[in-house]
Structure 1
């Protein structure tokens, strides 16, 4: 059955998106990846379409091209997104806040609106959104990114309730740190304040250290395939050991203990005291 299914994966030129597209293709899906530049996937086992998730016209054109070519779409994986380098919330302008929401959240809304009518006509489909553990945990000095992932959580769960009676299921994948070029493509905060210069530098160093021990993108890709192929999919999947432990702590640990742990890991109180 999988061999007859068509999948669309946004942000598939590298990282989690590319690993997911490869994993789905090897599992038998007919996969189309997307990136803003489009182009050929080269030796990859999937085709590439040009698609900008911040553009209504681009999203509609790419989905219509896929429907014209394949006649259906069975799986949408919303992966496209970006983050802002470690910075205080007040160091990003309103314009930058709008920009990250336009890609990370409204990009998912655009893709969903374009794809769901076709899935409803089919009476079946899967939508899998790449979220983050920051969808259920705070991230000091990463507030905007965490806010977009919290929004993805609420949207995904609500949408699953709406669509499951139409034969469509929605899941969100919640990875922790993952070895990709994501951090190399961080947008710099556009309203930097000297007040936060030292903490920005310290947190960037901490991030580089933890990324050295991060999971490979294939760990996330495996979770996507599991969610896509499950006869009774869960709403949330936390791939990797760290993500699973954090989900457990969020659910069962006292809020004060979790709060203290976050501040200790990021050395926030020590930095404030210095």
Structure 2
């Protein structure tokens, strides 16, 4: 069987998303990285990685479509004010990742303004609901999966026809360390991120022949609004939880109550690293030539326990697919 490396497969399909000057630095500001002439559609830009990323990519020269739900809202007005002041090519669009109609409308509007498919989709929107799995009722379970998994699928399906027609593109799915490891008491969060990791890798294989790359970002803990939002979701879940489900997990329920009241959020966020490290890593990857981008990128200055699992997973997948009909796809994604 003929074997190909990743660059050969992507170059053979006409991918043209190379941007000069990327430097593979981690946690430092990008050096000579330019995203000039490229377009990014980002979900969840009201705060955290999404908000910081929208401004960073635009400042690096990209045309940015920053999406968020519940417009109008102050965060959108703030992004628009900064964009006007700095003359950034940044457009805020309404998008709730739970809504098929809003996804279709936002992607359509972005493609209309852009004059064609966007170059990169950054699936950043996500939520955390903690607590024991038993305590998660179907409302919480559906919300977690609908946001963290199905939302990414909705966006991917919306942008892929255009990317495939052009034979180039990049999809970045923001996962977590907990997409590879499990922390008891985190409810279904890890389950959603495990699912996202699997779906993303599957997409990466299937899209390699089309010149489209998929990258999975695995952040550790950062001081974003995810803690405050988790407190709100936890409070809602606790308010409707039945005693028969809470009775078996007093310590976990107590931790949920502390989070829900806000007592643990500020302490948990103290002395944490710069959250802009995550969008910086995404910018660096986006600026890399097609065929050289990694499938997974852990991002955090502290130890990254998922790295060992990433290595074993890569070796296992290459052994599984390396001698069969999908060998070129596996090599394109994993080599």
Q: Is 1:223 the counterpart of 2:267 in the alignment?
A: no
Q: Secondary structure at the match of 2:97?
A: coil
In structure 2, distance between residues paired with 1:125 and 1:14: 25
Q: How many angstroms does 1:249 deviate by?
A: 5.0
Report if aligned partners of 2:224, 2:275 keep a CA contact under 8 Å in 1. yes
Q: What residue in structure 2 maps to residue 95 of structure 1?
A: 139
CA distance in 1, matches of 2:48, 2:56: 12
Q: TM-score, normalised by structure 2?
A: 0.70
The answer to whether the 8 Å contact 1:90/1:191 transfers is: no
Distance 1:54 1:149 in 2: 17
Select which of 239, 248, 269 maps to 2:299.
239
Q: Say which SS state the counterpart of residue 163 (structure 2) adopts.
A: helix
Contact 1:78/1:108 (<8 A) preserved:
yes
Per-residue deviation at 1:44?
A: 3.2
1:20 is matched with which residue?
A: 53
1:258 corresponds to which residue? none
> CA separation in 1, counterparts of 2:196 and 2:59?
28
Q: State the Cα distance separating 1:156 from its structure 2 match.
A: 0.8
Inter-CA distance 252–48: structure 2 relative to 1 (3 Å threshold): closer
Please give the root-mean-square deviation of Cα atoms over the aligned residues, in Å. Answer: 2.1
Q: Give the corresponding residue for 2:24.
A: none
Query: How many Å apart are 1:198 and its aligned residue?
Result: 3.2
Q: 2 CA distance for matches of 1:63 and 1:94?
A: 29
- 1:180 counterpart = 2:224: yes
Question: Residue 119 of structure 1 is aligned with which of 154, 163, 188?
Answer: 163
Q: How many residues are aligned here?
A: 251
Q: Which moved more, 1:110-119 or 1:134-143?
A: 134-143
How many Å separate the matches in 2 of 1:245 and 1:58?
36
- Within a 5 Å distance, the mapping from 1:70-89 to structure 2 comes to 70-72=114-116, 73-84=118-129, 86-89=130-133
Measured after TM superposition, the shift of residue 134 of structure 1 is 0.3
C-alpha displacement of 1:214: 2.3
- How far apart are 1:121 and its partner, in Å? 1.4
The Cα offsets for residues 17-45 of structure 1, whole Å up to 9 and x where unpaired, read as 01111111111110011001244423333
**1:42 paired to 2:73:** no
Larger Rg over CA atoms: 2
Secondary structure in 2 matching 1:143? coil
Map of 2:40 onto structure 1? 7
Counterpart Cα distance in 2 of 1:175 and 1:208: 19
SS of the residue corresponding to residue 44 of structure 1 reads: helix
Q: Tell me by how many angstroms 1:123 deviates.
A: 1.3
User: C-alpha separation between the residues in 1 aligned to 2:310 and 2:264?
Assistant: 26
- Residue 34 and residue 82 in structure 1: after superposition, are their counterparts in 2 closer, same or farther (change >3 A)? same
Distance in 2 separating the partners of 1:24 and 1:121: 25
| Conservation of the 8 A alpha-carbon contact between 1:125 and 1:167 | yes
Is the 1:5–1:74 Cα contact (8 Å) retained in structure 2? Answer: yes
- TM-score under structure 1 length normalisation: 0.85
Output the CA distance in 2 between the equivalents of 1:103 and 1:76: 16
In structure 1, stretches of 5+ residues that fail to align are 254-274
Q: Distance in 1 between matches of 2:44 and 2:113?
A: 20
Higher RCO (CA 8 Å, separation ≥ 6 residues):
2
